[in-house]
């Protein structure tokens, strides 16, 4: 196996602070990393974190709010975000929009609060809308930092992110040739959530240097959902001689954006987000999502799809019945697994995943 030393969030934050950077604690899902970096701000994403005691958040949130949002608020109330100078809440779903309102109207944090209103469908009007929204955020950041990066600086940071997206796509393409477990592979990918862009680029390049011509002789699956937490699911998949060939996860593949075409930096950033892959939080059609999942199966040679859903994540839930039917019509097997990022993976879940992979392996033997 290939072992790569990846700094922790704490180490990255301490180094960024020592270099005079400000820290932005960013909730899921879509936001322009490059815009914050242009202001010398290091984004540190808050996907929970997992295994957080959510009791303090229960006073502010209904019991049926997803555990990512529950944990994210509890983490703040415990002082976990005290190191941040800015809190960013994209309005990705009703739960996150509610979180933004709780911060703005009730908690009123000492940090600068930035909300991002995200459009849904892919069209020119939504690119224009998001472009204006990003200009609004630019002005808010300029007032907060007393600094205004110029057009060239913005384009420089945009191009860095576009280059990283190309490199991440190459990393995915090389999956079967990399001496990495599923957990190691996704630990590297998810380090983008907090690493400086140059360091993340170096880690990806180092990993790709160790790509070989030999392919994994395992059963590939596509995993779909918000994030692979608890990450023990990846160990279970490996234990069954399976591997995640590609994913449709909010923390990973859904944020591998294409290259923008506009000369205006705000429009270019907006293009990249609006024109990204089909996403439940962007109101993509069932057909779009089904076609995208089928394309992942075709590209990777995976044998089935695991919908790994965070409990109470309504945007994901709405699609599952129709998506399963669409995949089944194409002869693609799928399974829906429900998880809570604050609880250990259950034995029942482990058994179901193992049985699903064993079924895929058995079908492959008879194909």
Q: Flag whether 164 is in a domain.
A: no
Q: Flag whether 47 is in a domain.
A: yes
Q: Flag whether 121 is in a domain.
A: yes
Which structural domain, as residue segments, surrounds residue 130? 9-151
C-alpha separations of 228 from 10, 180, 183 in Å: 21, 16, 9
Q: Flag whether 142 is in a domain.
A: yes
Q: Flag whether 261 is in a domain.
A: no
Q: Flag whether 196 is in a domain.
A: no
Do residues 87 and 103 make contact, with C-beta atoms less than 8 angstroms apart?
A: yes
DSSP assignment of 7-42: --HHHHHHHHHHTT-EEEEE-SS---HHHHHHTTEE
Q: Flag whether 189 is in a domain.
A: no
Do residues 30 and 276 make contact, with C-beta atoms less than 8 angstroms apart?
A: yes
Question: CA–CA separation, 224 vs 249, rounded Å?
Answer: 5
Question: CA–CA separation, 5 vs 282, rounded Å?
Answer: 35
- Phi first, then psi, for residue 221 (nearest 5°) are -135, 160
C-alpha separations of 73 from 68, 81, 239 in Å: 9, 10, 34
Question: CA–CA separation, 57 vs 53, rounded Å?
Answer: 9
Q: What is the pLDDT along the chain (367 residues), one digit of tens a residue?
A: 567 889 999 999 999 999 999 999 999 999 999 999 999 999 999 999 988 988 999 889 888 899 999 999 999 999 999 999 999 999 999 999 999 999 999 999 999 999 999 998 899 999 999 999 999 999 999 999 999 999 999 999 999 999 999 999 999 999 988 989 999 999 999 999 999 999 999 999 999 998 876 666 789 999 999 999 999 999 999 999 999 999 999 999 999 999 999 999 999 999 999 999 999 999 999 999 999 999 999 999 999 999 999 989 999 999 999 999 999 999 999 999 999 999 989 999 999 999 999 999 988 776 5
CATH of the domain at 131: 3.40.50.11890
Structure tokens at 15: 């180094």
Question: CA–CA separation, 214 vs 225, rounded Å?
Answer: 29
Cis upstream peptide for 169 (omega within 30°): no
pLDDT at res. 214: 65
Question: CA–CA separation, 227 vs 189, rounded Å?
Answer: 11
Tally the domains of the chain. Answer: 1
Q: Flag whether 93 is in a domain.
A: yes
Burial 146-161 (b: 16+ CB within 10 A, else e): eeebeeebbbebbebb
Do residues 24 and 90 make contact, with C-beta atoms less than 8 angstroms apart?
A: no
pLDDT at res. 58: 87
Q: pTM for the complete prediction?
A: 0.95
Residue 6 CA from chain centroid, whole number: 18
pLDDT at res. 261: 95
Question: CA–CA separation, 8 vs 73, rounded Å?
Answer: 21
């Amino acid at each position: 196996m290939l072992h790569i030393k990846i700094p922790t969030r704490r180490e990255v934050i301490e180094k960024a602070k020592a270099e005079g950077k400000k820290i932005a604690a960013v909730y899921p899902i879509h936001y322009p990393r490059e815009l914050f970096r242009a202001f010398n701000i290091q984004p540190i994403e808050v996907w929970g974190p997992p295994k957080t005691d959510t009791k303090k958040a229960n006073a502010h949130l209904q019991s049926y709010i997803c555990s990512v949002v529950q944990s994210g608020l509890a983490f703040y109330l415990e002082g976990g975000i005290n190191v941040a100078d800015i809190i960013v809440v994209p309005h990705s779903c009703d739960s996150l929009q509610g979180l933004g309102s709780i911060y703005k109207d009730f908690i009123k944090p000492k940090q600068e609060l930035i909300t991002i209103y995200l459009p849904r469908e892919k069209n020119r009007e939504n690119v224009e809308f998001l472009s204006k929204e990003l200009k609004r955020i630019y002005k808010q950041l300029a007032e907060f930092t007393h600094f205004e990066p110029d057009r060239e600086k913005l384009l420089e940071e945009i191009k860095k992110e576009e280059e990283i997206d190309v490199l991440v796509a190459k990393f995915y393409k090389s999956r079967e040739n990399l001496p990495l477990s599923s957990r190691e592979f996704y630990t590297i990918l998810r380090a983008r959530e907090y690493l400086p862009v140059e360091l993340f680029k170096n880690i990806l390049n180092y990993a790709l240097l160790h790509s070989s011509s030999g392919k994994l002789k395992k059963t590939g699956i596509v995993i779909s959902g918000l994030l692979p937490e608890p990450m023990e699911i990846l160990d279970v998949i490996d234990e069954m001689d399976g591997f995640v060939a590609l994913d449709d996860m909010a923390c990973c593949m859904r944020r591998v954006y294409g290259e923008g075409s506009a000369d205006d930096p705000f429009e270019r950033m907006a293009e990249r987000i609006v024109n990204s892959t089909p996403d439940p939080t962007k109101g993509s059609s069932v057909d779009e999502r089904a076609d995208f999942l089928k394309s992942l199966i075709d590209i990777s040679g995976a044998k089935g799809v695991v919908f790994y859903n965070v409990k109470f994540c309504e945007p994901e839930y709405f699609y599952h019945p129709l998506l399963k039917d669409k995949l089944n019509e194409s002869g693609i097997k799928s399974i829906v697994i429900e998880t809570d990022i604050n609880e250990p993976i259950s034995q029942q879940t482990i058994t179901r995943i193992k049985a699903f992979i064993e079924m895929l392996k058995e079908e492959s033997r008879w194909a």
